[in-house]
Amino acid sequence: MNNEKKPNIIAEKSFLFAVRIVKLYQHLSEKKKEFVLSKQILRSGTAQSAQTLKKQKAQFQKQIFQTKFRLLTKKHGKRTIGFAF
């Protein structure tokens, strides 16, 4: 089994886009003295990268849950497993 991690192209591209947006923000605020528009560009441009990171974290947590559940069912056989909320 190959344990090599595949590169996530969407995460990589969204990160690079966010870096470019931060540089644009710096240029607009420092050189052009545009503060309102630059803040909105920064918020909007980095949101996609933040959402991508949240999605990756959620997928990782889902994998952890599935693994723990699989181990629990193996340990206890086919008995019914109840959840208390």
For residue 85, name the pLDDT band (cuts at 50, 70, 90): very low
Q: What is the pTM of this model?
A: 0.61
In this predicted model, what pLDDT tens digit does every residue of 4-50 receive, in sequence order?
Answer: 677 789 889 999 999 999 999 999 999 999 999 999 999 999 998 88
In the block, tokens 């996609």 appear at 48
Q: Phi-psi bin for 11: left (phi > 0), alpha (psi -120 to 50), beta?
A: alpha
CATH numeric code, 9-76: 1.20.1440.60
* Angstrom distance (rounded) from CA 17 to CA 51: 13
For residue 3, name the pLDDT band (cuts at 50, 70, 90): low
First to last CA, the chain: 37
